[in-house]
Chain A
């Protein structure tokens, strides 16, 4: 079953085709990776799918409904959570508080109810905190709950950002270079974590540069070059694909 279905998606910036007529499907429960050289349009594609940029043409169908033209928060409410290439944690908030923001969609209290501290908001807050602590345990960050999030190590900050997205209980998780800036040990941990997230029933769609990570965890890989999809296959086939080898290693006469 296809959870995310992208058809003919295109975006131009001036004369540059950042994303050029790209189509693909992400099956439910899979780990799908998007790779390609710098400037291939991977992050732009993420922005188009998650509603942060409007496409020029094409369609994005998520979980059976067209999400094109919706605001990012509306797409998030339908079950799509994402992280950012540049870590976007909330400063001046603890690790736990960062995660709790991710529970926004699973609580209801409005301005008036919260100002009056109505009984249902108190019950709700207890549930939110419980869920937040469960996420921290899942990430192995329980001891850091009260530390200021932006003071953690880079690798841990990536984990918190991922945990925050996970707290949304998404159907699909979009990860924009989850291993960027991580050392080898942290990258391996991240790979294991992504596997465990899929085991929780969350479909994962990621952009990544680290080839060993991508080859390790992905069910399927899409290769983008100059905005166009040039290959889509299982990892072992992608490794043998002459077009992919050419764009990564250059032509014979280069």
Chain B
């Protein structure tokens, strides 16, 4: 556990060092992409624990991200002042609604971001519960196809619903006042603060997940990955554990969706596209599958490069290509613990004393 504390502290130092380098070189605006990269990393970490550790693949996590983001965006932008009914006034007296000026100086009555966030995440969790039950009975490719189907359904619904802006998405989403003086907002004056807020969320999520994988529950999840029937014989309720980790993973995606939407001030249908889900999975794969730190570093790097436009028009192709190459040549992921030993064995084949 002391080792874990040192790793977290080291990572926090890297986050601060990136800020330092960016400001010394006059590139503070790069922190915007680093902030977005942090929120995407939350999704990827949640997927890492589901797919890398528990062995349950999902190609539908962009769907959970979008459910979180879209619901929060809709609730915090949809003007309720025209609906004067008892429900609206009741919600207003409970403090769930808030008034703010719109872009043109008019008066908007919307749901408060905190209430919207909680509702959005709980809805994503409820949907994960509902679809997880039947879907997680499937294994391997069948599970991949089912979650892919879920992702496509969310994408088509978002694209075909005028209430959520159809192809335009939702814009003019307000800042999210997390605590007094701290808001998730894309304003350039709040850029540095938001950079630390975002990576603070990632570090918090990382601590939760590291604690989990090093616990009794983490061992149970890994045993389900390794030999489900043997796990069951050891008294592990495998179906319930798979469902729970699926829901935890979906909650990570939904929280990331809410926060990034408030940071960007909007969300569009591309956030729910299948290529986003493929991208998340590709990052988990190149990060070493059951390797939270490797996944986090790869996510930080690849999301940043992608958001800065280094991959140009090949953006999606790069992530699709990564996934294919990893599955072909290193199905256990790239940054796995065994990597260095394997390299040593490849360079000094005679040095391998282990019997196989």
Contacts and interface: CB of A to CB of B under 8 A. Distances in A.
A and B part of one assembly: yes
Interface of A: 50, 52, 71-73, 76-77, 81-82, 84, 88-93, 97, 100-105, 107, 109-111, 114-117, 121, 124-125, 128, 151, 164-165, 168
Contact of B217 (A73, A76, A110): A110
Contact of A72 (B212, B233, B354): B233
A20 to B, nearest CB: 25
Contact of B233 (A81, A114, A124, A128): A81
B98 interface: no
B3 interface: no
Given A71-B237, A76-B234, A101 B229 contact: no
Contacts of A121: 215-216
Contacts of A116: 208, 211
Contacts of A97: 219, 222
A97 B219 CA distance: 8
Contacts, number: 106
Contacts of B235: 73, 76-77, 104-105, 168
Nearest to B211: A117
B183 interface: no
B244 interface: yes
Contact of B220 (A84, A104, A168): A104
B259 interface: no
B80 interface: no
A80 to B, nearest CB: 9
A103 to B, nearest CB: 8
Given A109-B216, A115-B212, A128-B216, 6 more contacts: A90-B231, A100-B219, A101-B236, A111-B212, A111-B217, A121-B215
A88 B229 contact: yes
B322 interface: no
Contact of B216 (A50, A88, A92, A114): A114
8 contacts: A71-B237, A73-B235, A76-B232, A81-B234, A84-B230, A92-B290, A111-B248, A117-B211
B219 A117 contact: no
Nearest to B332: A92
A110 B245 CA distance: 11
A93 B222 contact: yes
Given A104-B236, A117-B211, A92 B226 contact: yes
A91 B233 contact: no
Contacts of A77: 235
Contact of B234 (A109, A125, A168): A168
A185 B296 CA distance: 49
B238 interface: yes
Most buried by A among B220, B223, B229, B290: B223
A164 B231 CA distance: 10
